[in-house]
Structure 1
Amino acid sequence: MKIVDLIDTRLGTNNQYSIGKGNVLPITSAPFGMNHFVMQTRQNDVRFYHPNDASNMGIRITHQPSPWMGDFGFINLNAFSLTDEVYQQVEAASSKDSLFMAHQFSGYRASDATFQPNRLTFERLRDKLYIDLIPNVYGAQLSIRRHFQERLKHPFFSIGIAQTGFLRVSEDGLTVTGYTNQLSGSKYKAFGTYFNFHFSQSVTLYHQTDYSEEDHPMTAYYLELQDRATSEITINFAASYISVEQAAKNLDTYLTAYPTKAAQLAQITDEWEAYLGKIEVTHTDHERVKTFYANLYRTALFPQTAHEIVDGQVKHFSPYSQEVEPGYFYTSSGYWDTFRSNYPLYALLIPERIPEFINSILSIAREDRYLPKWLSPDERGLMPGTLVDGVIADAVVKGLVDTNDAQELLEAMIFNADIPSDHELEGREGGHDYAEYGYLPADYHESVNKTLDYAYSDFCIAQVANYLDQTEIAERYYARSLSYRHLYQDDLKQMVAKDREGTFVKQEVAHRWGQHYTEGSAWQNSLSVFHNVADLIDLYGGDQAFYEHLEKLVNSEPLYETGGYGIEIHEMIELAIQKFGQLAISNQPSFHIPHLFIYAGYPHMSHIVLKDLMLNVFGPDINGYPGDEDNGSLASWFVLNSLGLYSVTPGTEQYVLGISIWKEATIHLDNGNKVELISSDVEPYLNIVQSRTVNGEVYTKQYVTYQQLMDGLKLEQRLGMIPAIQAIAESDRPYSLKNNN
Structure 2
Amino acid sequence: MKEGVYLTVLDLIDTRQGTNNDRSFSHGNTLPSTTTPFGMNAFVPQTRLGDVRFFNSNDKVIYGIRLSHQPSPWMGDFAFIIFNFLGLNDKEEVEFLKSEDSELVEKYNKSSFNPDHTVFKPHNFSYRRLRDRLEVELIPTDYGASLRAGSLSKKIYFTLGIAEDGNLTVSDDGKELRGYTNQLSGSKYGKFGMYFIVKSKDCKFELVKKSNYVEDEHPMEMYWLKVKGNETIDYIELDVTTSYIDLEQADINYSSDIFFTYDWESKEQNSSEKWLEYLDKITVKHSNLSTLKTFYSCLYRTATFPQRAYEIKDENIIHYSPYTAKIEKGYFYLNNGYWDTFRTNYPLYSIIIPDSIPKFIEGILNISREDKYLPKWVSPDERGLMPGTLVDAVIADATVKGLLDREIVEELLEAMIFNATTPSDNELEGRENAEFYFDNGYIPSENSESVNLTLDYSYSDFCIGQVANYLDRGDIAEKYYKYSLNYRNLFDSKSNLMKPRNLNGEHLTDISNYEWGGSYTEGSSWQSSFSVFHNIEDLIKLHGGDEPFYQHVLELINSDPIFEVGDYGQEIHEMSEMAALQFGQLAISNQPSFHIPHLFIYAGYPQISHLILKQLMMNTFKYTADGFPGDDDNGSMSAWYVLNSLGLYQVTPGTDEFVLGISIWDEAVVKLHNNNSIVIKSDPQEPYLNVVESRMVNNIKYDLEYIKYEKLMSGVIIEQKLGVIPNLSQVSESKRPFSLNKII
TM-score of Structure 1 vs Structure 2, range by shorter chain? over 0.9
Matches of 2:28 and 2:62 in 1, distance apart? 21
Q: Distance in 1 between matches of 2:605 and 2:568?
A: 36
Question: Does the CA-based 8 Å contact 1:77-1:157 persist in structure 2?
Answer: yes
Distance 1:100 1:689, change over 3 A: closer
Paired position in structure 1 for 2:103: 98
CA RMSD of aligned residues (A): 1.0
TM superposition outliers: structure 1 runs of 4+ over 6 Å: none
> In 2 relative to 1, CA 100–562 (structure 1 residues): closer, same or farther, beyond 3 Å?
closer
Q: 1:257 to 1:158 in 2, by over 3 A?
A: closer
Aligned counterpart in structure 1 of residue 9 of structure 2, from 3, 17, 25: 3
Paired residue secondary structure (2:267): helix
More displaced 10-residue stretch of structure 1: 587-596 or 183-192 = 183-192
Alignment of 1:570-609 (within 5 A): 570-609=573-612
**Relative to 1, partners in 2 of residues 1:604 and 1:466: Cα closer, same or farther, differing over 3 Å?**
same
Aligned to 1:650: 653
- In structure 1, stretches of 5+ residues that fail to align are none
**Paired position in structure 1 for 2:215:** 213
Q: Report the counterpart of residue 203 of structure 1 in structure 2.
A: 205
Which residue of 2 is the match for residue 514 of structure 1? 517
| Contact 1:188-1:378 within 8 A present in 2 as well | no
Amino acid at match of 2:686: E
Distance 1:282 1:256 in 2: 33
What TM-score do the two structures reach when normalised by structure 1?
0.98
- Partners of 2:649 and 2:58 lie apart in 1 by 35
| 2:381 corresponds to | 378
Counterpart contact for 2:19–2:30, Cα < 8 Å: yes
Q: In 2, distance between residues paired with 1:180 and 1:492?
A: 54
8 A contact 1:90–1:96 mirrored in 2: no
Per the TM alignment, residue 258 of structure 1 is displaced from its structure 2 partner at its CA by 4.1
AA aligned to 2:82 is: N
* Residues 399-414 of structure 1 aligned to structure 2 (within 5 Å): 399-414=402-417
Determine if the alignment matches structure 1 residue 22 to structure 2 residue 24: no
- Residue 185 (structure 1) shift: 1.9
Could you tell me whether the CA contact under 8 Å between 1:187 and 1:380 is conserved in 2? no
Q: How much does 1:498 deviate?
A: 0.2
Alignment coverage as a number of residue pairs: 736
Question: Which amino acid is the alignment partner of residue 335 of structure 1?
Answer: Y
The answer to whether the 8 A contact 1:129-1:144 is kept is yes
Report what 1:454 is aligned to.
457
3-state SS of 2:220 partner:
strand
Is residue 2:108 matched to residue 1:107? no
Q: Report the alpha carbon displacement of residue 512 of structure 1 after superposing the two structures with TM.
A: 0.7
Deviation (angstroms), 1:83: 1.7
Structure 2 alignment gaps of length 5 or more:
1-6
State the SS of the aligned residue for 2:257: helix
Shift of 1:565: 0.5
Task: Give CA-to-partner distance per residue, 1:577-620, whole Å, 9 cap, x none.
Answer: 11000000000000000000000000011001000000111011
Deviates more, 1:96-105 or 1:129-138: 96-105
Tell me how far 1:368 sits from its aligned partner: 0.3
Deviations 1:695-734 (A, max 9, x none): 0111000000110000001000001112222210101000
**How many angstroms apart in 1 are the aligned matches of 2:542 and 2:287?**
44
* Alignment partner of 2:690 out of 687, 691, 696: 687
Q: Is the 8 A contact 2:196 2:240 kept in 1?
A: yes
Q: Which amino acid aligns with 2:192?
A: F
Kindly tell me: are residues 575 and 92 of structure 1, through their superposed partners in 2, closer, same or farther at Cα, counting changes over 3 Å?
A: closer
C-alpha distance in 1, partners of 2:269/2:471?
45
Q: How far off is 1:448 after superposition? A: 0.2
**What residue is the counterpart of 1:60 in the other structure?**
66
Give the Cα–Cα distance (whole angstroms) in 1 for the partners of residues 189 and 450 of structure 2: 27
AA in 1 matched with 2:143 = Y
Whether 1:181 aligns to 2:182 is yes
Which residue of the partner structure matches residue 162 of structure 2? 161
Between the aligned partners of 2:219 and 2:624, the Cα distance in structure 1 is 34
Counterpart amino acid of residue 225 in structure 1: V
SS of aligned partner of 2:634: helix
Contact 2:81–2:181, Cα closer than 8 Å, also in 1: yes
Say if 2:374 and 2:415, in contact at 8 Å, map to a contact too.
yes
1:89 corresponds to 2:89 = no
Query: SS state of the match for residue 610, structure 2?
Result: helix
1:388-418 deviation digits (Å, cap 9, x = unpaired): 0000000000000100000000000000000
- Deviation at 1:228? 4.4
Q: Deviation string for 1:201-257 (max 9, x for gaps)?
A: 110111100100000000001111112413310110011000011111111111477
Aligned residue identity for 1:222: W
Q: Of 235, 252, 257, which residue of structure 2 is paired with 1:249?
A: 252
| CA deviation string 1:547-589 (max 9, x = no partner) | 0001000000000010011011000000001100000000000
Give the Cα–Cα distance (whole angstroms) in 2 for the partners of residues 97 and 82 of structure 1: 19
Q: Which residue of 2 aligns with 1:563?
A: 566
Q: Say whether 1:117 aligns with 2:119.
A: no
Deviation at 1:184, TM superposition (A): 2.1
Partner of 1:416: 419
Query: Quick one: which amino acid aligns to residue 566 of structure 2?
Result: G
- How big is each residue's C-alpha offset from its partner over 1:512-553, in whole Å with a ceiling of 9 and x where there is no partner? 100100000100100000000000000111100000001000
Q: Alignment partner of 1:158: what SS? A: strand
Distance 1:736 1:42, change over 3 A: same
Q: Which AA in structure 1 matches 2:97?
A: E
The structure-2 alpha-carbon separation of the partners of 1:202 and 1:473, relative to structure 1 and needing over 3 Å to count, comes to: same
Partner residue in 1 for 2:147: 142
Cα distance in 1 for partners of 2:10, 2:510 equals 50
Correspondence for 1:13 among 16, 19, 41: 19
Question: Helix, strand or coil: the match of 2:517?
Answer: coil
Q: CA deviation at 1:68?
A: 0.3
The answer on whether the counterparts of 2:492 and 2:509 sit within 8 Å (CA) in structure 1 is no
